[in-house]
């Protein structure tokens, strides 16, 4: 067995292990807990950091104002992070029209989301506060469902995350993210069951104010403050749960440039947090988070590197060799193709030349993936559209993930080589 075959087998078995692990956990999802009646709902501050969000900020604030929650118990704090557009003016107009609601606008120099959250946190006196990205929108019952989750557990619960959906996916890229977010929603529910959530998403994660202030607020030195705060909670033995039916809708990137910038931040932030909290890695002291989740987080990066290597080795290199040969024979392709097929030369871009065992593994992985997809859409309360889902799945599993793997590898190499953390 050569080194490339070894890498392929490693990739197979890692994928198989991860797929089976999550499938088993899917089958063990517990039914919804009994409904807890809350006589008096607590007050909640909702922080909305915004940078150049004039297109979305109005709808975002309106979704908060329309929450199924007592108006007097909601305090909205908008932090304008040095926006260069009309974000400030839009918010001021809303404040002037909604004089009966408590809406505060903080204007600061462009300092980043973490500092915006920390500045707003100084004004928070309520037991709970939520962070809501300005390009996201909450469903009417989201806040009550999240607050109920806090009451279903003991005082050790520090964060409750929402169930994030894509809002009105229009182009192909957004539809692929729609599939991705539905799968991610299910995985976060599974992580919640294992007490191993490692990120508190910007769109409407709700926090216990006392605990966050006790731990020093949000880290402004990282690119992924939503991951860092979750790691810090896990390190200090606080719990994080997901409220699976507290739906929040976010606006996804609509072009590759925006997607690249978003994922670059996620990948570098995630990798730097693994390094920062490496002492938790495989440490039984931290339960499932240390033993299961952190290795999985690292495996995601390893699999991205393996995936890129295999794509280059089995696809790009054969194509380059083919193009080179075409130039050598001065585009006289007929004799070349005749020789090609007569000698049954197989392009290395096939792992089609598989033995029976490999074929069984691949088919098994495909079946598990489809089962997971079914559960993911069911969990998200979404219907699978038969007309478009086949094409979406092919593009999602064989193109979209390959593209994200390249983005991941480029981002991590940049981080390791340059040690620069630009937005």
The answer to whether 69 and 41 are in contact (CB under 8 A) is yes
Q: Which of 188-192, 350-354, 418-422 has the highest mean pLDDT?
A: 188-192
Q: 42-290 belongs to which homologous superfamily?
A: Spore Coat Polysaccharide Biosynthesis Protein SpsA; Chain A (3.90.550.10)
- pLDDT of res. 34: 55
Dihedral sign of CA atoms 377, 396, 28, 299 in order = negative
Nearest to 369 by CA among 20, 3, 6, 14: 20
Q: What 3-state class would DSSP assign to 86?
A: coil
- pLDDT of res. 356: 63
| Whole-number Å distance between alpha carbons of 202 and 331 | 54
pLDDT tens by residue, 252-311: 999 999 999 999 999 999 999 999 999 999 999 999 999 989 999 999 999 899 989 988
pLDDT tens by residue, 55-87: 999 999 999 999 999 999 999 999 999 999 999
pLDDT confidence band for 20 (50 / 70 / 90): low
The answer to whether 185 and 165 are in contact (CB under 8 A) is yes
The answer to whether 119 and 105 are in contact (CB under 8 A) is no
Domain boundaries, the chain: 3-26+294-418, 42-290
């Amino acid at each position: 067995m050569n080194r490339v075959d070894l890498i392929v087998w490693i990739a197979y078995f890692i994928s198989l292990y991860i797929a089976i692990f999550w499938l088993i956990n899917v089958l063990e999802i517990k039914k919804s807990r009994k409904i807890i009646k809350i006589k008096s709902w607590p007050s909640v501050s909702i922080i909305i950091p915004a940078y150049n969000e004039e297109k979305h900020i109005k709808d975002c604030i309106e979704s908060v104002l329309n929450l199924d929650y007592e108006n007097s118990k909601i305090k909205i704090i908008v932090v304008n992070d040095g926006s260069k557009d009309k974000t400030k003016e839009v918010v001021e107009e809303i404040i002037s029209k909604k004089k009966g609601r408590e809406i505060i606008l903080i204007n600061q120099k462009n300092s980043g989301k973490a500092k915006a959250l920390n500045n707003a946190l100084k004004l928070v006196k309520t037991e709970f506060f939520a962070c809501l990205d300005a390009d996201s929108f909450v469903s009417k019952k989201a806040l009550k469902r999240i607050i109920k989750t806090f009451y279903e557990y003991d005082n050790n619960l520090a964060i409750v995350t929402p169930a994030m959906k894509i809002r009105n996916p229009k182009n192909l890229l957004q539809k692929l993210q729609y599939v991705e977010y539905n799968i991610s929603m299910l995985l976060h529910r599974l992580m919640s069951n294992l007490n191993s959530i490692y990120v508190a998403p910007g769109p409407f994660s709700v926090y216990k104010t006392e605990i966050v202030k006790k731990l020093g607020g949000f880290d402004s030195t990282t690119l992924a403050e939503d991951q860092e705060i979750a790691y810090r909670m896990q390190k200090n033995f606080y719990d994080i749960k997901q409220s699976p039916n507290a739906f929040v809708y976010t606006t996804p990137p609509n072009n590759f440039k925006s997607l690249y910038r978003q994922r670059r931040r996620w990948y570098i932030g995630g990798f730097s947090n693994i390094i920062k909290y490496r002492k938790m890695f495989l440490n039984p002291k931290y339960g499932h988070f240390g033993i299961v989740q952190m290795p999985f987080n690292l495996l995601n990066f390893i699999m991205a590197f393996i995936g890129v290597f295999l794509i280059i080795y089995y696809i790009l290199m054969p194509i380059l060799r083919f193009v080179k040969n075409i130039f050598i024979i001065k585009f006289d392709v007929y004799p070349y193709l005749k020789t090609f097929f007569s000698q049954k030369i197989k392009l290395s871009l096939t792992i089609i030349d598989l033995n029976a065992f490999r074929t069984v593994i691949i088919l098994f992985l495909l079946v598990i993936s489809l089962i997971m997809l079914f559960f993911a859409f069911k969990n998200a309360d979404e219907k699978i559209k038969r007309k478009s889902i086949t094409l979406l799945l092919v593009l999602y599993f064989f193109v979209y993930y390959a593209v994200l793997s390249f983005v991941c590898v480029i981002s991590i190499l940049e981080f390791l080589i340059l040690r620069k953390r630009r937005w």
